[in-house]
């Protein structure tokens, strides 16, 4: 593990090195390295294993999008990544943990209340922060996840 990552991550019990700085809206770690924006897991893979093959995705065997432990990363085709996601149901689990304070029913109600008033007010109704409400409403990046969650 290179110091660049060691210094910027916290080790978890399962060996994950969780990136604790910036995150993308899709939940991946992001950083600027040599004036370039990187997803941290991709940068970590490249720095530890060499160049990424064109068109390949870097997948997490540990299912933790913020993890940059090179031992938990593997290169796969976009199809592999999709299969991996589906087999792990990461979308649903990720979302559920994201909105762990809310039940499905509440998420549906919050979505229905979109546009009816400020997020802060709606948050009070559900006992969650304005940020949580905004995140649910913003949903665009989570749209597919929301649908899969709501359909379940
Ligand atoms: Zn990991």
Side-chain-facing half-sphere of 30: CA atoms under 13 Å: 10
Q: From the CA of 94, how far away is ligand 1's center (Å)?
A: 14
Q: From the CA of 12, how far away is ligand 1's center (Å)?
A: 8
Q: From the CA of 126, how far away is ligand 1's center (Å)?
A: 33
Give the torsion sign (CA, 14, 37, 74, 28). positive
- Residue 89: its pLDDT value, please? 55
Q: From the CA of 49, how far away is ligand 1's center (Å)?
A: 16
> What's the pLDDT band for 99 if we cut at 50, 70, 90?
low
As a dihedral over the C-alpha atoms of residue 82, residue 84, residue 85, residue 87, rounded to 10 degrees, the angle is 120
Query: What's the CA gap between 114 and 134, in Å, rounded?
Result: 9
- Residue 66: its pLDDT value, please? 95
Structure tokens at 119: 């997020």
Q: From the CA of 125, how far away is ligand 1's center (Å)?
A: 36
Range in 14-23, 27-36, 111-120, 132-141 with the lowest mean pLDDT: 132-141
Of residues 21 and 151, more confidence is placed in: 21
pLDDT, tens digit, 9 for 90 and up, residues 41-91: 999 999 999 888 887 889 999 989 999 999 999 888 777 777 776 666 555
- Residue 69: its pLDDT value, please? 96
Query: What's the CA gap between 8 and 68, in Å, rounded?
Result: 10
Q: Do 51 and 75 form a contact (C-beta atoms < 8 A)?
A: no
Residue 138 has pLDDT above 70, yes or no: yes
Mark out the alpha helices in the chain (DSSP H runs): 3-6, 40-49, 78-88, 90-98, 104-112, 119-126, 130-138, 143-151
Domain positions in the chain = 3-87, 94-151
Q: What is the mean pLDDT of the chain?
A: 80
Of residues 48 and 146, more confidence is placed in: 48
Q: From the CA of 121, how far away is ligand 1's center (Å)?
A: 37
- Which pTM was predicted? 0.56
In order of 24, 36, 55, 151, the CA distances from 68 in angstroms are: 14, 17, 20, 32
> What's the pLDDT band for 141 if we cut at 50, 70, 90?
very low
Quick one: fold of 3-87?
A: Homing Intron 3 (I-Ppo) Encoded Endonuclease; Chain A (3.90.75)
């Amino acid at each position: 593990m290179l110091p660049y990552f060691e210094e910027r991550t916290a080790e978890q019990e399962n060996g994950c090195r969780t990136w604790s700085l910036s995150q993308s809206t899709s939940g991946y770690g992001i950083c600027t390295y040599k004036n370039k924006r990187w997803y941290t897991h991709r940068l970590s893979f490249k720095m530890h294993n060499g160049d990424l093959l064109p068109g390949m995705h870097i997948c997490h065997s540990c299912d933790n999008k913020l993890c940059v432990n090179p031992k938990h990363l593997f290169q796969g085709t976009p199809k592999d990544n999709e299969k991996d996601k589906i087999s792990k149901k990461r979308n649903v689990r990720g979302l559920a943990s994201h909105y762990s304070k809310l039940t499905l029913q509440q998420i549906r109600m919050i979505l229905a209340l979109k546009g009816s008033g400020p997020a802060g007010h709606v948050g009070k109704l559900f006992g969650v922060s304005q940020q949580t409400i905004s995140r649910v409403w913003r949903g665009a990046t989570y749209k597919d996840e929301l649908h899969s969650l709501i359909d379940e």
